[in-house]
Structure 1
Amino acid sequence: MNVKLFIIFVCFTLFIGFPERGYAENSSAAMKNQTDNLVSLSDQVFHYSIAKQDKAAASLLHELSEKWNHSLDLYSEKEQQVIGTSIVKLKVLLKTQANQQEIADAAASLRLGFDALQNEGAPMWKEKRSDIMEPLSRMNTALKNKKQEHYQYELNQFLNEYAIIYPALIIDGRPDMVTLLDQRITTLTNHRLEDIKESKRISQVNRITDDMNRLFKQSRNGKDENTMGLMTIIGGIVVAVLAYVSWVRYTAERKRRSRIH
């Protein structure tokens, strides 16, 4: 993860804060058509990104951004800020020629975010279930076998996957469930270097696993049921920042101990 990018991301989100004001009164047909067009464009951006065709991806992303900005009155202010922030993140990554995996992950996150704007069908973020749940299972196994380094690696895998679906969760997920999950993940990540009994960590991982399972089982929410505020979005970004910071601390501590021994 790129710490400079996260700083830009956090500052941007803090700057643009948003109140919930409901939806502009536009026809559902116009909204559906526009959303379908935006989803299609975001899908193209995603495919160019994973094909490492950064110039083509950046060009289409610019077009997507323009169309998004011209259709803001169709969407809630929460959706405007979630999608807008995701667009800015991918733009920064493409402009700075960041790691290709970071670009691909950001493009996937944006694609899932746009899909979450739709009311019909199963949301795409639920297709990431195995990518989320498998690292949690391996974390549990690593803790039981007292393999700390393996646990730390799988924790980072989980955090990376969670960051990808997070914008979609904000738009489509139940606010109370996502808020609780953020709190649990932040607690686990912030104390990853502390000397805590395996049984306690296993309990923490199990609670996160249960929360994630409930989220994946929920039905697609109606737009008016989503009332998450700025602090929930910041919470998700903090999780990602903590993942980077705590991993740096972990590797530094390992190096320090190796020098001592």
Structure 2
Amino acid sequence: MKVKWILLFIIVILLAPINAFAEKLSPIDKLDEISDEALLMVKYERYDDAKKLLDYFSNQFASLTGNERSFTMDQLRIVTNSHDEALEATVSQNMKYEERLNKLTKFRLVMDAVATTRQPLWIGMEDKILSTFHQAEDAAKNGNKDAFNTCLNSFLNLYNVIYPSMKIDVPIENIQKVDARINFIDQYRSQMVGNAENIKELDRLEVDLKKLFNDMDEDQADPSLWWVIISTGSIIIMTLSYVGWRKYKGDKEMKKNRSRDLKD
């Protein structure tokens, strides 16, 4: 029983700094939370509440950027532009729900990309984006112009949602390569269907898209977290080994005592 309490004490002591760190949010993390709450309000069509959150974000953002250099110039521009679009989505009288949601999602992904350096949320849209692109690709290969245009538009809308946050995390030369292919396909969309040579450009874009996501979707666990896990595991293993050794010694001593009692 005593050993169990020792193990519990060790785990609590080791995990306490992690919990304390998690509870203490940085100013940028707080802005990230506000963007998440604003997106949630738009999901529930509570546009007035979303606007209030975005106005509050604007004040906090201005205060943060005025006091310290927490953002690069590119980040400042991307955050400001996505925030303006999100704000427009909450006050527009004619904007459709899907478009409002896309603009708030874009803003949310941007703030997450700024706030975190590992596993950004935008890479979680890989399956949805590639699935939509595959539908456009299949339609082009099957000679279905209407389906191709519809699916290509859906793909472009989704790509536009992750584009600003992607620019924060991905080297510009990688983005420019994908952009060039997308612009070519969009510009010559009327010639894509049924054209074997142009369809090859769709295949090349698929390869570039997959590479873009795969380069980001690597195991990027925080080294400090791994250190805590390894340290915790090592201590627990040492403790259990010590407990096992004590038990072994105790059993061995008990057998000796029994042997003596029998002899006596």
Deviation sequence 1:208-257 (CA, Å, 0-9, x none): 11111111112389xxxxxxxxxxxxxxxxxxxxxxxxxxxxxxxxxxxx
Partner of 1:162: 159
Cα 1:146–1:205 change in 2 (3 A) is: same
Alignment-derived partner of residue 135 in structure 1? 132
Counterpart CA distance in 1 for 2:92 and 2:149 is: 28
Q: Secondary structure at the match of 2:190?
A: coil
Higher relative CO (Cα under 8 Å, sequence separation at least 6) belongs to 1
5+ residue gaps, structure 2, are 1-24, 219-264
The CA deviation string for residues 191-221 of structure 1, in whole angstroms up to 9 with x for no partner, is: 1134765213321111111111111112389
Equivalent residue of 2:157, what SS? Answer: helix
Using the TM superposition, give the Cα deviation of residue 85 of structure 1 relative to its aligned residue in structure 2, in angstroms: 0.3
1: CA distance, partners of 2:54 / 2:46: 12
What SS is found at the alignment partner of 1:71?
helix
Aligned to 1:203: 200
Which of these residues, 12, 31, 39, is aligned with residue 32 of structure 2? 39
Moved more, 67-76 or 193-202: 193-202
Q: Which of 100, 104, 123 is equivalent to 2:101?
A: 104
Note the alpha carbon deviations across 1:32-54, whole angstroms, 9 max, x for none.
Answer: 71121011000000111111111
Aligned partners of 1:116 and 1:172 also within 8 Å: yes
Task: Note if contact 2:109-2:121 (Cα within 8 Å) is conserved in structure 1.
Answer: yes
What is the total number of aligned residue pairs between the two structures? 190
Distance in 1 between residues matched to 2:177 and 2:122, nearest whole Å: 19
Higher helix residue share: 2
Partners of 2:116 and 2:38 lie apart in 1 by 22
Provide the rounded CA distance (Å) in 2 between the counterparts of 1:120 and 1:111: 15
Tell me which residue corresponds to 1:86.
82
C-alpha distance in structure 2 between counterparts of 1:207 and 1:213, whole Å: 10
Q: Which residue of 2 aligns with 1:243?
A: none
What is the aligned counterpart of 1:75 among 68, 71, 75? 71
Distance in 2 between residues matched to 1:85 and 1:115, nearest whole Å: 15
SS of 1:52's partner is: coil
Contact 2:145 2:193 in 1 (8 A): no
DSSP 3-state at the match of 1:74: coil
Code of the residue aligned with 1:42 in structure 2: it is S
**C-alpha distance in 2 between matches for 1:119 and 1:59:** 25
- 3-state secondary structure, aligned to 2:216: coil
1:143-158 equivalences under 5 Å are 143-158=140-155
TM-score by length of 2: 0.68
- Counterpart residue number, 1:51: 44
Match of 1:66 in 2: 59
More deviation, 89-98/146-155: 89-98
**Contiguous gaps of at least 5 residues in structure 1:** 1-31, 222-261
Q: How far did 1:87 drift?
A: 0.6
Structure number with larger C-alpha Rg: 2
Counterparts of 1:171 and 1:220 in 2: how far apart (Å)? Answer: 15
Identity %: 22
Residue identity opposite 2:77 in structure 1: Q
d(CA) in 2 for partners of 1:147, 1:99: 28
Q: Name the amino acid aligned to 2:173.
A: D
The one-letter code matched in structure 2 to 1:53 is: R
Specify the code of the residue in structure 2 equivalent to 1:93.
Answer: A
Name the CA distance, whole Å, in 1 between partners of 2:39 and 2:192: 41
RMSD: 1.8
